Structure 1
Amino acid sequence: MTRRVYFDHSATTPVHPEVVEEMCRFLKDNFGNPTSLHYFGQKARKAVEEAREKVAAAIGANPAEIVFTSGGTEADNMAIHGVAYTNRNRGNHIITSAVEHHAVLNTVKALGKQGFTVTILPVDQYGMVSVEDVAAAITDKTILITIMHANNEVGTIMPIAEIGRLARERGILFHTDAVQSFGKIPVNVDELNVDLLTISGHKIYGPKGIGALYIRKGTRWRQTLFHGGAQERLRRAGTENTPGIIGLGKAAELAMANMEQEAAYLTRLRDRLIREVTEKISHVRLTGHPTKRLPNHASFCFEFIEGESMLLSLDLQGIAASSGSACTSGSLEPSHVLLAMGIPHEVAHGSIRITLGRDNTEEDIDYFLEVMPPIVERLRAMSPLDQETEFALSDRCNGCRVSHTCRV
């Protein structure tokens, strides 16, 4: 029987058994609509508000500042559209980065076709946004800055607190997509100086189809996506997904209780994985920041190989990994994140992402290190890419620990 190892926790996580147990109570007996005034509805309402308190506590917010959504994409859209249209009389300029999730990038690009001006900032070789670049991009028309807390493809953690401080000094609203960081590293809205923040349930061992948007009290924001009932204090129409909300609340509670211990454990596994992959396999480079990265995240570019071939070969050995964002896994184009970091097209095509979770073990790392080198060797032997063309090591090649000359 093939051993099964799941290394794709940035795409989604298995639902925690305690979360399943909590949700089941509201899929069976406690089925009421939270807006109903009778016993069944009020029982559901009480559970929804308790979950709201748990989510708020996890990020240092007030429960009234939490709006439940269908997930991270909706929350990102709500944050950006809501700020843009509500504040249009004050300005029309939005600042973001080149490595954002498509839920942010495609939203601001769409606004760019509707009369807004969008500045997409570059990143360095680690995928990091410069605070100085943000400051230089601000104009008297800037109404919103939206920069992700941690990158989903390479794991780099952005200087959000510094950017937030700058935005506050300039009187500009600041949103961060914290879908990947929430539950893995501390996320506190006051310490990060954010006005809006996005989270998602299925990245923290909660269910799919549920997320939340934090909106700081006093923020000039109005819902522009949905029209309907008065749910979520008139901020998000539609009957509440009660089981999903309960699941998110429980997942957030568990994440806060276990974060420090899990982060230390996953960091140890991650560092061993990075060290041994770069030692045992030639012409491989770590992507993302070497230290300022999520505790469970390791991403690499393997030269002379296509990432999809590696993923299929790993899957045949029972290992699930990814080549980047799950939302773009069907695209034949190389990652926009890697290209923004200055990695050449042909090298970016050879990327894989290993994201660890609470159930992964040292034995899982052993197994990966056993099967990966022969996969690389076999695929390189079949590769049509020219391995004799060399170029001098440059900033674009940062992360290669094998030699002072890299090849494409």
Structure 2
Amino acid sequence: MNRLFSFVFTFACLAIWSINSERAYVHDKLVRLEPFTDEHIHYLQALEETTSLDFWTEIMAPNRSVDVRIRANEYDQYVSQFKQYSLPYEIIVNDIQEVIDNEEKELAQDRLMRQIQSRWLGEAEPRIVGTYATYKQMETYLDEKAAADPTHIKVIDIGKTYEGRSIKVISIKMNPASTRNIWIDCGIHAREWITPATCIWSIEEFINEYNNRDPIIRQILDKWTVYVAPSLNPDGYEYSQTSGNRLWRKNRFPTNALCNGVDLNRNYPWKWNTGGASTSACSETYCGRSAGSEIETQNVVKFLESLKGTWDMYMSFHAYGQWWFTPYGYTTGLPKDYQKQLATAQAGANALTAVRGTKYAVGSISGLLYIASGSTCDWAYDSLGIKHSYTIELPPTQQQSNIGFVLPVSEAPAVCRETYVGMKEFLNKVHEDTAQ
């Protein structure tokens, strides 16, 4: 009987996978480049700004490796250029589609098992905490949380996307007298599936631990209304899940006849397009037609500005690299609150590391990585005046680029769990700082 169930289960998973999968990355390669001169760096920066090459890691400085996905039909062309520039390279992943196929099979198995478990328990919907849910499932989850406790929990539609989806935000207000707020968002880059999963996990834990009278969470939620947006880019996220374009990053605005999408994290109306962004519509870091041009950006800006002066913390989750970033990205200068930001972030990173040894580098965006303008982190700090504004890049590290954005679903619960532990201690420190 067990063997029969195993056979049927496996067959069903493979059937689901074969129906859903479209294989857009067959023989695409992940190539590691080893620039060792300034000329190499300038050449790669020009490629990033003017071509559709997909850089998985950042172009920082000589002697710092750079990983880039190259389409199968363009591989020979770029290899020829690398040789002309005497730029060392090696193939890290020979066929990226195989990595994506493996993830899709595992995800199909996980979804089927969750469906079976929900039927067994008499639940209407499968549980999505700790997995890569669809955006519709996330909306249903938020609505269920609000329905279970309408006094304290609400779902807010802050506006539509280009394709007409609602950008949903959950508010958790346990103390009706609370006047201060914190904000957490995920999924601004579509392919970073681990980030919406992290937001959903955090929502679940905030509510459960408050109801179970955890003293730290009680203190946090009695002070603040917590706003969590599991996906700031629903169009791109759904496209990455359903179209076969697993590595889609941007939104879905039709920028020109050849390329679609704007990098929403280069589109925010502060120091827009002053470095680390591209004006080429085909670039993965395309900053858009103008500052704040995208409807998704406008919705977030409008909502947060409507509560300007009440925010004590802004956090945006990304992947990947294991970085805990403070402002600034647009300049190598440091904000006046940098030392406090650094100490608070380090406390969170240390708590996260204590869970299972995952280590994060902590510091400013430009100091640790590169110049990047038009980001949410800088906008929140300078335009909204939120002292504690941060960006976290979740696992894996940039050295583990054989998986990169395609983090196996089996690893999602552990990443979500440790991240929540780090956030809990981090928010505890923010609470202490804002109480002074």
TM-score in same-fold range (> 0.5): no
The TM-score normalised by the length of structure 1 is 0.33
The TM-score normalised by the length of structure 2 is 0.32
Larger relative CO (CA 8 A, sep 6+): 1 or 2? 1
